[in-house]
Amino acid sequence: MTELVQHWSDGKVYAGTSGARAPITNPATGQVTAQVALANVDDARTVIAAAAAAYPQWRDTSLAKRTQVLFAFRELLNSRKKELARIITSEHGKTVPDALGEIERGLEVVEFACGIPYLLRGGFTENASTKVDVYSIRQPLGPVAVISPFNFPAMVPMWFFPIAIAAGNTVVLKPSEKDPSASLWLARLWAEAGLAPGVFNVLQGDKAAVDELITNPAIKSVSFVGSTPIAQHVYATATATGKRVQALGGAKNHAVILPDADLDLAADSMVNAGFGSAGERCMAISVCVTVGSIADELVAKVAERANNLKTGDGTRHTDMGPLVTKAHREKVASYIDASEAAGAKVVVDGRAVRPDGAPDGFWLGPTLIDHVNTDMSAYTDEIFGPVLSVVRVETYDEAMALVNSNPYGNGTAIFTNDGGAARRFQNEVEVGMVGINLPIPVPMAYYSFGGWKASLFGDAHAHGIEGVQFFTRGKAVTQRWLDPSHGGINLGFPQNR
């Protein structure tokens, strides 16, 4: 018998009624380690109902009390993050240090949410009209849904739920069925921190769970991170039912290397951003755009570094772990096959990797492909694996046109020692997050995370002030405390005097 990862509803585990299960696999061994419950519609409605029932009391809980719970959660998470990191590694495959890194970035959002009293502060105008005062307040939405992907089972949910909870909402988190155990671990931590039952809930499942979350009238907003086709579906369906939606989609991130760049810095950055977490990051650099005559030298530097990386079990002293599933490993490998067949040069071939791990793990080593052109599938598609494509251009203008013509606009970077070129790039590029001599420009929690074009559907980015605004709605109050004398009858439109 394998362990069953269940739902979390009203402050306790909930097995559900569907009986449907999916396997949870350790990618480093290929072995099934547990099963996850897959919700049916009734299960989803049960969990949503728990969030709806808890909302009125949590909405009316003081900011002081909410903040105390947030601080307690932060302290518990910080003290036990190594335990959570090991859980992530066992189901996702990323190395333990990489898993710790994603938890640290999620903690930044928890810390930001601890300042919610200031962030929800309204405004007040005395005597806007004679003896009339006007003030503004921000109030929570109600039960909200967070649908998160497999690649960051801790960090991505924490982009959303700390702010949502701090602002007075209740949450239903639907994690990926590939690595769902982190979500239950976080639920138990919330309970230990003193969060009231029903404020944070976990709904395990697949499409049936998602479809209920994005259509159920009790859910007031949906925060989604995943592929662009699913993001489009979530956005179109949920907004049609009147919900607020922030749906973050796919990416094809380019790094532009100008001739004056520090090529050692650029090579290090391409390896770090291209192969970290086996390339399973929406902010991974997947296209290296070399400008001018530097391509041969840069490719040689990247290849040297990539060949020295150690691929293997993430619990050992390795640089890069396996891919999340066998099917995904085969799909990523097919892009290498297609590029080679189309005439590109495979400089470093991850298909031949010798991993430090079990033979049945889902291994694919760092791969560097040179002379890629824009009609190859390795360029057009979001591979989501450790494959870095090199596209050669002659001028800055060609590079800019390449980046801006891409349908995605999540992240990008430029490497240069020319401040004017960098400033021009940040101004002209049609991408939501820009790095200058920095390959993965994920902003701090007090700024907002989000892309442009097909990388985001909706008006609000994740976390930061935009996150606070997304999980609250404004209310303007106009008041007058009358003197004993009555103002009299006047049917005209109110005027300020």
DSSP string computed for 86-121? HHHHHHH---HHHHHHHHHHHHHHHHHHTTHHHHT-
Find the angle CA(102)-CA(106)-CA(112) to the nearest 5 degrees.
150
Write the DSSP symbol of residue 272.
Answer: H
Contact residues for 236 (Cβ-Cβ < 8 A; gap 6+)? none
Q: Which residues pair with 389 in a beta bridge?
A: 287, 369
Write the DSSP symbol of residue 168.
Answer: T
Strands (E), 106-252: 124-129, 132-140, 143-147, 170-174, 200-202, 221-225, 244-248
CA atoms within 13 A on the CB side of 480: 14
288 catalytically annotated = no
Say how many C-beta atoms besides its own lie within 10 A of residue 464's C-beta.
Answer: 23
Give the active site residue among 163, 282, 387, 433.
282
Catalytic residues: 282
